[in-house]
Structures are given as C-alpha cells and as structure tokens.
Amino acid sequence: MGKISHIVVLTIGSDGCKKAVDKGIKIAIKENCKITFIYIVDTSFLSGIPRRIHGVNRAEKDLNRIGRIILERAREKASKKEAKVATAIRTGNIMEELERFLKESKGDLLIISSEKRGFLDTHLSLASSKRLEEITGISVLEIE
Amino acid sequence: MKFSIALILLISVIILIPELVSGMDNINPEIPLEPMIISGLVLVIVYVLIAFDLIHRTLAALLGASTILFISTTLGAFNKNYQILSFNDAIDAIDFNVVFLLMGMMIIVAIMRGTGVFQWTAYKSYELAKGDIWRLTIILMIVTAVLSALLDNVTTILLLTPVTIEIALILRINPWALIFPEIMASNIGGTATLIGDPPNILIGSSSGLSFNAFLFNLGPIALITLLALIGMMYFFFSKEYKKNKNNNVPELLKRLKREYKIENQALLNQCLIVLGFVIVLFFLHDELKMEPSIAAMTGAMILLLISRTHIGEMLDEVEWPTLVFFMMLFIIVGAAEKNGLIPAIAEIVVQISGKDPTSTIVIVIWISGIMSAIVDNIPFTASMIPVVEYLNQVIPGIDPNILWWALALGADFGGNATIIGASSNIVAAGIAERSGYAIRFKDFIKIGMPVAIVSMILSTAYLLIRY
C-alpha cells in the first residue's frame, strides 16, 4: 500500500464500528491524511411494510438524524486527536452507496467492521470487500 | 436452509395429513374425507409459507384461497367430493366487518401520522420525565400502551422508536433500555381493546363481543401486566436507568423541541376530534347495534372530508395487501370449518381437556401463546375462532366468553416472546440495528420470553380467579 491520502470509515455506531473508527483515526494521524466517517441510511428492513401507511419515508428521516448523532460522536473522537476529519451521510443500498462515495471522494483506504452475523457483515461480506477492492481499486481493511 | 426446512415440513405434512385425518375417530362418517384433507393441506401449506417467510403472506393466502376455489370448480364439477367450497360460500366466509374496521382505522392513522404527533409525544415524555431515564421509561411504556390500544402497533413503534433511540444515544445509554419496554408495552397495550391488535378485531367480530366488553375484561389484565412489565424492565436495565446524572437536560429538550414539533396543528385538532368521536361510537356500538367497522369507516370519511385529502391519495393510504390477506384467510379457514376439519381439531382439545373448563382455558391460552410466538398470530387466531366456537358449545358449564379472552390473551401476549412474534418487534429491531445496537433473535428471547411467560401466568391466574 502506498501513501494514504484519504481514509473512509463506514459506521453504524456499533461496538465493532467504534473499533473501526479508532483504527481509522490511528492511521489518519500516522499518515497525516484526511479521514471521513460515513453512515448510510438503509431502510430495506421495512420492505414488507407499506411505505405510506406506516410512515416509512419518515423513518428514513429519523434514521438520518440517528446517523448524524453517530457521525458526530466519531468526529468528536477524531477532532480530539487533531485528525483532519469529515463526515458524510447517504441514503440507499449500502453496497451501492459506498461504491459511489468512494469514487466521488477519491478515498484510498476503506475501513469497515466485520461483525459476525451483524448488519454490516450481512451487507458487506468478505466477498463484497474484495469486490469493492476490485471495483474501486482501493484497499479495504476489515476490523474484527 | 430455511427453504429446505420448509420443504421437509411441507412434504411431511402432505404425507401425514391424510393418514391423520383418516385415523381420527371423532370425524362425522357422513362427511367425505377428500375436502377435509384438501382444506387441511391448504391451511398447513399457507401456514408454512408464512411462517418461513417463503413468499409474501398475502400471496400465500391468495394461493391457498384460489387453490380451494379452483379445485372446487374444476374437479368438483365431476366429483362432488372435491367441492370444497362454493364461490358463494367463499364470499359468505369473508368477514367484512373486520375488513372495513381495519380500512377505517388505517385511514385515520395515516392522516394522523402526518401531523407529527407521535414523535411529539416522545419529546413531551422526556420533558415530563425531567431528564430522569427511569421515569422516562415508565412514561414511554404508558404512552406506547395507550397509543397501541387505540391505533396500530407497527405505526406506534415505527414512529416512536427512532426518537427514543436518539434520546438514548444523546444520553449515552444503551437504547435497548428504552426500546424493549416500548416493544413489550405496545403488545400489552394492544391487548386491552377490540381495535388494539388484529387478533382482537377477529375475535370481536366473530364472537359479537363489544368494545366495552374487551376493555372491561382485558383492560384490567393488560394494566396488571403493564405494571409487571415495569418491574421486569427495571430488573433487566436498572444499570442503564441509573446513568442519567450528568446530562444536560435543557439542551436536549431544546433539540427535541426543535426537531419534533407538531407539523400541522389544525389537522391534529381535526384528527383528535374525529378519533374521539370514533371512540365514543365504539363505546356505544353495542347499544346502537352498530358494527365497530361502521364507526371506523364513518370517522375515516368525516376526516377525509374535513381534511380535504384527495381521494386518490386516500386510497393509496389503505394497506391493501393486509386487507386482501384477511379476506383470503377467511376463505381458507371457512373451507376448513365447512369440511369438518376444525370441529375435528376442537374435538381433540375436548378429549385432552376431558371437558373440564379449567383445563380447556389453560390449553387455549398456552397453546395460543406458544403458537403466536412462532407463527403469525393472525392466521392462527382465524383458525382458532371456529375451534373456540365449538368448545363453547360442548364444554358443559363454561362461561361463554372466557375462552375468547383466553384466545385473545394468548395470541396477543405470545407475540412478546420472540422477535418474529409481532411485526412491531421486527420493525424496532431493524431500527435498533441501524443505530449500532442490533437485537438478534437470542437477545430478544432473553428479555421477551420471560415477559411473555409472566404475562401468560398472570393471564391464566386472572381468568381462573375472575371467572
């Protein structure tokens, strides 16, 4: 791996993600590079529920707000250690949104948490990480 | 894996049902076995499809009902033994009181949701709690129970849970400490009224029991169970509840006030007036000889008129898949009932209980509770209704209503045991997972199962002591 200029950390605020955040901050300080924490609002678990009647659209807004709190926590941590930090929030399919963001932001290291049978594990399995590496051409670091 | 298990189960059922039915010695010999076997097979296949989530539950019910009607009108044209259910009997089997009641309440809830009142209620709960997490938990449990008793559980949980998680994250406590009490309170609150939970709507419509009868008979046990729940939640999460000493309450209140305000006060006023009117009609429907569905539909119509909602938008708001699911389910259960399968099952219950009222009550409540934890409680309740009707006729000296209460309590409280026991459990778990606090199947059981068992024990004692 060459010089890292931009680390992207995917988080949903779980214990595993907190470890990924810590690892990302550590590398960012060492490499003196930018670090971005991203939260992706995904409401696929509500697919069986009619969108209008139960206010699923509203749930997207609410999850967005929760995502911002999670990102704020990560930003606070990074700022305390004087890392160059940014946050991003996206809505949609986790894999697709992550691919898009990595291309847009020109990230060169993605850090994700690999929790056994966890939410991110379901959406970003090891095979997906390899696929991500192939598609975006950047390194993917999985924190267990 | 899931598909393989379902397939093995299906094949076993297809092989075993004809054997079981032909081996039953309580079957009326004048009734031909073919329609009973086919209607039984269809019922079980639909159950398996729904339980293993192989296809959408509405599609499963549509498949079952259309199979019954197709066989009846094709093979049945040549051999009377395959006339499982005529088209006219199928239409008669649909309980339109249930369908219209659901439709009316769906419209009222959908319009009310747009006012932001659900989220505002969560903010007000925090304000009332003055920053004390334990007090907030109790208030949220009461609010959720009341909302779920009057409106539907999924909407209540979907709209309250995110605000609750936001509060928990800001206060740096585990959101489980607030979400679990909400989920459990929602299922318990829904038990208290005729409109609180779909099984109650089904039971109310079939038995003719009024809104007041539900409230006066199930309300007290729902309240007792809610009190027990408060104690149980403290036992599970007391560490979290004690964490709230150093929080900046005014700052959080300011934030919540800004984010969760009433979005349309005029519409909210209209909704509250109409909802109040509908509830008054529910209280009076027995005296007025008015079906509860008429009250709900009238309220929905008035609200649509005064809120000037577009008719096309209004029809979009109706959860059609659920209504179709109910209609098809009535046809499937109607076929099983008409062809003697359900009376045969009821006869097995009679034999096990030895016609003893106490044993029958215990069997109905616990079987309903266990089944509702495993399968969708709507088809289960629909299948159990004719069984209970039969039991009411053959068990000597039994209070005619007590088995209905046993069925309702079992079906409603059983939903708390597992994550798949109620739709609202799945919704809350999904939101929690996306907030970094995943609730897995085993996590849910650790808290839900004790709550369900305590609820069932309390319900059994309540029924046996009170009646």
Global ipTM = 0.76
Residue B226 in domain: yes
Answer yes or no: do B319 and A63 touch at CB < 8 A: no
Which candidate in A40, A62, A76, A90 is best for mutational testing of the B interface (most B CBs within 10 A)?
A62
Q: From the CA of A114, how many Å to the nearest CA of chain B?
A: 13
Task: Judge whether residue B6 has pLDDT over 70.
Answer: no
Tell me which residue range forms the domain holding B177: 96-317
Task: Judge whether residue A55 has pLDDT over 80.
Answer: no
- Report the pLDDT averaged over residues B119-135: 87
Answer yes or no: do A58 and B436 touch at CB < 8 A: no
Indicate the average pLDDT of chain A.
82
What is the pTM (predicted TM-score) of this model?
0.82
Pick from B118, B113, B115, B127: nearest CA to B147:
B118
With contacts defined as CB-CB under 8 Å, which chain B residues touch A123? none
What pLDDT does residue B29 have? 62
The tens digit of pLDDT for each residue in B388-411 reads: 999 998 888 888 899 999 999 999
Fold that domain A6-143 belongs to in CATH: Rossmann fold (3.40.50)
Q: From the CA of A126, how many Å to the nearest CA of chain B?
A: 20
What pLDDT does residue A118 have? 55
With contacts defined as CB-CB under 8 Å, which chain B residues touch A53? 106, 109-110, 155, 317-319
What pLDDT does residue B247 have? 63
- Report the pLDDT averaged over residues B342-356: 84
The tens digit of pLDDT for each residue in B165-203 reads: 988 888 888 999 999 999 999 999 999 999 998 899 999
Answer yes or no: do A69 and B317 touch at CB < 8 A: no
A41 touches chain B (CB under 8 A): yes
- Report the pLDDT averaged over residues B251-265: 84
With contacts defined as CB-CB under 8 Å, which chain A residues touch B160? none
Helix (H, G, I), strand (E, B) or coil at A9: strand
Strands A84-91 and A34-41: parallel
Task: Judge whether residue A107 has pLDDT over 50.
Answer: yes
What pLDDT does residue B48 have? 85
Answer yes or no: do A62 and B166 touch at CB < 8 A: yes
With contacts defined as CB-CB under 8 Å, which chain A residues touch B165? 66
Residue B415 in domain: no
Residue B376 in domain: no
Q: What domain count does chain B have? A: 1
Closest chain A residue to B260 measured between Cα atoms?
A: A62
A119 touches chain B (CB under 8 A): yes
- Report the pLDDT averaged over residues A73-102: 90
Residue B232 in domain: yes
As a whole number of angstroms, the distance between CA A59 and CA B114 comes to: 12
Answer yes or no: do A49 and B158 touch at CB < 8 A: yes
Helix (H, G, I), strand (E, B) or coil at A23: helix
What's the token pair of residue B45?
């296949």
Residue among B119, B319, B436 whose CB faces A53 most closely: B319
With contacts defined as CB-CB under 8 Å, which chain B residues touch A71? none
Residue B167 in domain: yes
Task: Judge whether residue B123 has pLDDT over 90.
Answer: no
CA distances from B32 to B39, B78, B145 (A): 12, 15, 48
Residue among A14, A48, A63 whose CB faces B431 most closely: A63
Answer yes or no: do B436 and A41 touch at CB < 8 A: no
Residue B310 in domain: yes
A47 touches chain B (CB under 8 A): no
Task: Judge whether residue B235 has pLDDT over 80.
Answer: yes
Residue B49 in domain: no
Percent of chain B with pLDDT over 70: 92
